[in-house]
């Protein structure tokens, strides 16, 4: 093994300027962008309509309705609805804090010239729609395991819609969903 003192000065300077974490992050971001470019923006009008309809299921109105309307039913459904509402609220706060801290621009700011739906803000990481859909789905899936698979599949499709419509990178979606799952796990324990 070569000692650090035996390395050329230019190599040493490069090693000290570039931390191992930043090169990993750079590689991760490059792969995220490459995957995005493979799947974003469907050319088919019918596929665009389906993705657009799905993406609205992760919006504020749909997520809040899915958490608030079942409150009127009482019993176990109302308990799950209260937990879903808390999970959506907490995960939304977390998403907004991370978005403003990281400040990752949306694909339309560099990789893509246009999106197929309106962007709610200029920040991409993590996806709020993906978090909201997963927050509701995850709580109801934990409360009613027989409905778990279709609920979680629907939430994952909402996340996929955000990439296919050009408003998020895949990593944004995954992180939004992870935040929602972790929040749901905590809220269900309280």
Residue 183 — pLDDT band, cuts 50, 70, 90? very high
Q: How far apart are CA 186 and CA 174, in angstroms?
A: 18
3-state DSSP call for residue 131? helix
Q: Bigger pLDDT: 108 or 11?
A: 108
Please say if the pLDDT value at position 115 is more than 90.
no
pTM of the model: 0.81
The CATH class of 40-189 is mainly alpha
Please, are residues 166 and 107 in contact by the beta-carbon 8 Å criterion?
yes
94: phi then psi, degrees, rounded to nearest 5: -60, -45
The two tokens of residue 181 are: 């799952």
Residue 71 has what DSSP assignment?
Answer: G
Please, are residues 78 and 139 in contact by the beta-carbon 8 Å criterion?
no
Residue 149 — pLDDT band, cuts 50, 70, 90? very high
Looking at the chain, the whole-number percentage of residues with pLDDT higher than 90 is 52
Please say if the pLDDT value at position 9 is more than 70.
no
Residue 1 has what DSSP assignment?
Answer: -
Domain locations in the chain as residue ranges: 40-189
Residue 150 — pLDDT band, cuts 50, 70, 90? very high
Residue 15 — pLDDT band, cuts 50, 70, 90? very low
């Amino acid at each position: 093994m070569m000692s650090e003192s035996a390395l050329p000065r230019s190599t040493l300077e490069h090693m000290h300027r570039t931390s191992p974490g930043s090169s990993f992050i750079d590689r991760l971001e490059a792969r995220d962008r490459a995957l995005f470019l493979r799947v974003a923006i469907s050319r088919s009008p019918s596929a665009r309509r389906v993705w657009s309809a799905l993406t609205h299921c992760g919006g504020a109105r749909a997520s809040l309705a899915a958490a608030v309307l079942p409150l009127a039913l009482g019993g176990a459904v109302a308990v799950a609805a209260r937990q879903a509402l808390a999970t959506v609220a907490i995960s939304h706060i977390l998403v907004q804090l991370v978005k403003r801290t990281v400040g990752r621009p949306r694909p339309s700011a560099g990789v893509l010239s246009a999106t197929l739906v309106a962007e709610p803000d200029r920040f991409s990481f993590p996806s709020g729609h993906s978090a909201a859909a997963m927050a509701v789905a995850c709580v109801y899936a934990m409360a009613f395991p027989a409905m778990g698979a279709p609920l979680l599949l629907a939430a994952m499709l909402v996340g996929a819609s955000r990439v296919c419509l050009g408003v998020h990178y895949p990593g944004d979606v995954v992180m939004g969903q992870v935040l929602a799952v972790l929040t749901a796990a905590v809220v269900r324990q309280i």
